[in-house]
Amino acid sequence: MRHHIVLSKPFDLEQFSEGARQGINPRHVLADLSQKLDATIHKTGNHPITFLDRVFAKFFGTLPEQWAMARSIVPQLSNEDIIFSNGTDVGFPLAMLCKIAGKRPKLVTHVMVPENRRVRLLLKLFALDTHIDVFHVYNQSQGDFLQSFLNLSSDRISVLTFHTDTDFFSPGAPSPSKSRPIIASAGLEQRDYVTLAEATHDLDVDVKICAASCAAKAAGSGGFPKVIPANMEARYYDFAELRQLYRDADIVVVPVVDHTYSAGTTVVLEAMACCKPVILTSTPGRNTALRDEGVVRGVPVGDAASLRAAIMSLLNNPQEAAALAQRGHEKVLRENATEKHLQSLISLLTAMETESSGDRAVTAEA
């Protein structure tokens, strides 16, 4: 029996671990997981790509190099091996190629958006669930959808514990050069910086965003407005700079468009770990749950007036902002530290060591 971790992208986990030891970046849970389980890391890169890799990739909406990697892994596998893949772009190729090869290792794959039309089509068309033991999802509503859609038993759903490295992202002093209030944000996925710009363009604040440069975006794309306000800046921040941005911020705003999963949660947790008040767009699932818990201030999707009012309320009421920040900070330390997520993954994967190949799938079919 061997453990395998299959990465969607050629990510250097060893370098990340070394950076964490030096305090340059936060821990990466998959790097820690690989060490705890003595797992083999697989990533794309040096695998020759065939014509069939390209054909499969086009049909599945993935990359040829991901199929080439999966094709190189399958001959190494036994039915006792346990695989964790961090996305369907590698999990689905592994399931498909194992099915073709008549192999049945134990496979856990993360599914970002199970409601996606292509994901649903591939799962049904190729019956991939017969070769995936556990579906790892962002929230319980996604798990409920997969259970109903594929007629799965509950033990084949694992809900992701969102996490952050609370040793790296932690409270600290603001920069001495700070001259006026800072509204910070970060990320590109499902973001709505148009609404943030509309809410803040004439306020006496600096809006600083950790993302690719606004100027590098096509007009109106990537969630940015066509005209960038004078008080808004977006650029690349390394991890140490991002931590300092959070520490400098008076408020961290995570504006997102309407979507069904939990984009922005990582930024929310990093900001709360630094004990900063967070304003978050209320979308279905975890974002709304955080609002209801009272650990973030929620605003409606695309509502610049409500976002502006929330920002002004927290800026004008520092005690209220501090209390919100403290509630969020306590929640992260209690529930969302990296170690908690690491232990949940270890428990899931080590429990599978004693199971026979396909046990969970057979149980569901029975």
The full DSSP string for 55-120 is HHHHHHTS-HHHHHHHHHHGGG--TT-EEEESSHHHHHHHHHHHHHHT---EEEEE-S-TT-HHHH
What integer pLDDT is reported at residue 366 of this predicted model? Answer: 34
The class that CATH gives domain 3-163+339-365 is alpha beta
Q: List where CATH 3.40.50.2000 sits in the chain.
A: 3-163+339-365, 182-336
pLDDT digits (tens, 9 = 90+) for 128-159: 999 999 999 988 889 999 999 999 999 999 99
Cβ contacts of 251 within 8 Å, gap of 6 or more: 181, 183, 184, 276, 277, 278, 279, 311, 314, 315, 321
What does the alpha-carbon distance between residue 36 and residue 117 come to, in Å, rounded to a whole number? 36
Residue where the block lists tokens 């990510």: 11
3-state DSSP call for residue 25? coil
Measured CA to CA, the distance from residue 66 to residue 111 in angstroms comes to: 16
Average of per-residue pLDDT values in the chain: 91
How many Cα atoms within 13 Å fall on the side-chain side of residue 19? 15
CA pair distance 253, 298, nearest whole angstrom? 10
The pair phi, psi for residue 128, each rounded to 5°, is -65, -20
Cβ(260)–Cβ(113) below 8 Å: yes
Arch. (CATH architecture) of 182-336: 3-Layer(aba) Sandwich (3.40)
Distance CA 276, CA 174 (A): 12
Q: Which segment of 11-15, 31-35, 241-245, 325-329 scores lowest on mean pLDDT?
A: 11-15
Which helix H or strand E contains 299, and what residues bound it? strand 297-299
Phi then psi dihedrals of residue 311, to 5 deg: -60, -50
pLDDT for the residue 189: 86
Mapped onto helix, strand or coil, the DSSP state of residue 279 is strand
Q: Which amino acid appears at position 331 of this protein?
A: K
**Mean pLDDT of the 325-339 span:** 96
Write down the pLDDT at residue 99: 96
Helix 304-316 to helix 193-200 angle (10° resolution) is 60
pLDDT value for 358:
61
pLDDT band at 360 (very low <50, low <70, confident <90, very high): low
Range with the largest mean pLDDT of 154-163, 252-261, 269-278, 355-364: 269-278
Antiparallel, parallel or unpaired: β 182-186 and 278-281:
unpaired
pLDDT one-digit tens code per residue, 158-201: 998 789 999 999 999 999 999 999 999 999 988 999 999 999 99
Question: Are 241 and 293 a contacting pair, CB within 8 Å?
Answer: no
Query: Are the beta carbons of 210 and 187 closer than 8 angstroms?
Result: yes
Among 229, 210, 352, smallest CA distance to 270 is for 210
* pLDDT in the model for residue 161: 79
Binned at pLDDT 50, 70 and 90, residue 357 comes out as low
- Measured from the Cβ of residue 68, the count of other Cβ atoms closer than 10 Å reads 23
Q: What is the pLDDT of residues 262-317, one digit of tens each?
A: 788 999 999 999 999 999 998 866 667 788 889 999 999 999 999 999 999 999 99
Tokens of 241: 């700079």
Mean of the pLDDT values across residues 198-218?
Answer: 81
pLDDT of residue 251: 98
